[in-house]
Each structure stands twice: as C-alpha cells, then as structure tokens.
Amino acid sequence: MNWLTALGFGEHSWGPALCEGAVMTLFVSGAGLAIGAALGSLVAWAKLSGARVAGAIGEGYAALFRGLPELLVVYFVYFGSSALLTATAHLLGVEGFVGVPAFAAGALAVGVISGSYQAEVFRGAFLAVAKGEIEAARAVGMGRWLMFRRIIAPQVLRYAIPGLGNLWQVALKDSSLISVTGLTELMRASQLASNATHKPFTYYVAGGALYLVLTAFSDRVFDFAEKRATRGMRREAT
C-alpha cells in the first residue's frame, strides 16, 4: 500500500477519515476560541477595573486554568458535567448514563482554557493603548459604552491580534483533547490510521500536513485582520 493509497479516498484509504477529523478540529477550535474570547475579555475587564472582588475572581479563574494540565480540565468539564446531568436525569427517572454532548463539552473545555490565556492577551493589549487616548475621550465627554466601542475595542483588538493569532494556533492543538469525549478529531484520526496500518510516519506527517492546511487558512484570515486593524498606524519600529 503506497502512500497514495494510504492517504487517498479509495475504499481502504484514510483520506476521508483524516479530512473529517480536520473539519471536527476546525469547528471545535473555532467554538472554543469564541467561548474563550468571551470569557477572556470578561476576566481582563475584571482585572483592569480595579474592583477587588471581581479582580480576584478573574485572577483565580485565569490562574486555575492556565496552571492545570489541559487533560484534567477536559476530564472535569466532560465527566463532571455528565455526572451532573446523569444525576439530574436519575432524579427525573431516566436510567443509565446521560452524557453532555461531546462537542459542547469539548468546545467548552477548549474555551475555558483559551479564555484564561486570552485574558492576558487582552490585558496586555489594553495596557498598550496610549493613556492619552482614553483621557482625551473622557475629556471630550464620551460615555463609557461609546468610548469602549469607538476607542478601546478597536485599539485593543489591533494590539491583540498577534497574540490572538498565537492563541488560535494553541486552540487548534488543544482541540486534540476532545478525543477524551469519544469524538474523533484530526490527531486521533491520524493515530487510529497509524495503528491500523502500522505506518506511524505516514500518518503523523499527513496529520501534520492537514494541520498546516488549517493553519495556512487561518494565517490568511489573521493577516487580513491585522492589516485592516493597523491601517493608518505608524509602525516605525518594525
């Protein structure tokens, strides 16, 4: 079985399985990043606001999920929530195991982890916004929401994009943890193929190549975003 058959789309080939895995990876990572952005900006805001309780909670969340190994987080999110759901179901008379939808649990786990990192990126990006801009906005009499919408958010995003680009790559790789829930994403598909055919090199490289395809696609998106976000910005240093 040469490499063309191994990776192609014929009957005994693993091409479709790998591609399905790639699609799953893309969706889980995307959902995870979105959840992470929501959580991350909340936490960054909590930490920057100066309010002590909110800041402490935000700090605790970020410290917890940055510090714990990702596998543990997926375990707790998936089996923990499934246990809760099963217990609730038992109360209602339903027998057996009730699992949280695997995709939701996986995306939530990736999101929770990503959020703790995104908090730092947003915080750093916010601090990079020149204080003068915020002072000027206040001096002009902008309300908080208007200031956020017109001054803070665009500039924070502008500085955050390289960091977020990094975190998207991290989310793409973290999505391999979703296999704990039973779903097959790209990494697991490669491992199953490698094990069935005893050709680890072929499938590790093929899986890696597919990740690169996903990356190439996302790089384009982030490059475009970065160019648009930094139009008009002078970039003397680079």
Partner 1 sequence: MMSFAFLWTTFLRLMAALQVTLSVWALSVFVGAFIGAGVTWMRISGVKPIEWAARAYVFVFRGAPLLVQLFVVYYGLSSFPLVRGSVFWPFLRDAFNCATLSCALCTAAYQSEIFRGALSGVPPGQVEAARACGMSSFLLFRRVILPIALRQALPAYSTEVISMVKATALVSLVTLWDVMSVALKIRNDTLVTYTPLLVAGAIYFVLNYVIARIFLLIEYWLSPHLRARAT
Partner 2 sequence: MASGNVLRAALACSLLVLAGAASAKDWKTVVIGMEGGYDPYNLTDPSGKIVGFEPDLANDVCARIKVECKIIAQDWDGMIPGLQAGKFDVIMDGMSITDERKQTIDFTVPYANVPAALASAKASPLAKLAGAGTLVNFEKDKATGDAALKALRDALKGKTIGVQVSTTHATFATNHLKDVATVKEYKTTDERDLDLKSGRIDAVLDDETEVMAMLAKDDAKDFTTFGPLLTGGDFGIGVGMGLRKSDADLTAKFDAAIKAAIADGSVKKYSLKWFKIDTTP
Nearest approach, Cβ of 72 to partner 2 (angstroms)?
11
- The CA distances from residue 104 to 15, 74, 97, 144, 210, in Å, are 26, 11, 17, 34, 23
Q: Which amino acid is at 196?
A: A
**Rounded Cα gap, residues 108 and 76, in angstroms:** 11
Q: Minimum CB separation from partner 2 for residue 86, in Å?
A: 7
Give CA–CA dist 17/1, Å, rounded: 17
Choosing among partner 2, partner 1, none, which partner's interface includes residue 155 (Cβ < 5 to 8 Å by kind)?
none
Question: Would you count residue 216 as binding partner 1 (CB under 8 A)?
Answer: yes
> CB 7: neighbour CB atoms within 10 A?
19
Is residue 166 part of the contact set for partner 1 (CB under 8 A)? Answer: yes
**Contact characters 179-198, partner 1, x per CB under 8 A:** --------x-----------
Confirm or reject binding of residue 208 to partner 1 (CB under 8 A): yes
The SS3 assignment for 8 reads coil
* Cα–Cα distance for residue pair 227/165, rounded to 1 Å: 13
Contact with partner 1 (CB under 8 A): which of 7, 28, 121, 177? 121
Tokens of 118: 């995104």
Asked if 207 and 189 touch (Cβ cutoff 8 Å), the reply is yes
Q: Which residues between 133 and 162 bind partner 1 (CB under 8 A)?
A: 159, 161-162
53 is an interface residue for partner 1 by CB under 8 A: no
State yes or no: residue 56 binds partner 1 (CB under 8 A).
no
From the list partner 1, partner 2, none, partner contacted by residue 61 (C-beta under 5 to 8 A by kind)? none
What is the b/e burial string over 175-184, where b = at least 16 CB atoms within 10 angstroms of the residue's CB?
bbbbbbbebb
Q: Is 221 in the site for partner 1 (CB under 8 A)?
A: no
Q: What is the CA radius of gyration of the chain?
A: 22
Q: Which residues bind partner 2 (CB under 8 A)?
A: 11-14, 16-17, 71, 75, 78-79, 82-83, 86, 96-97, 99, 179-182, 184, 188, 191-196, 198-201
CB of 79 to partner 2, least distance (A): 5
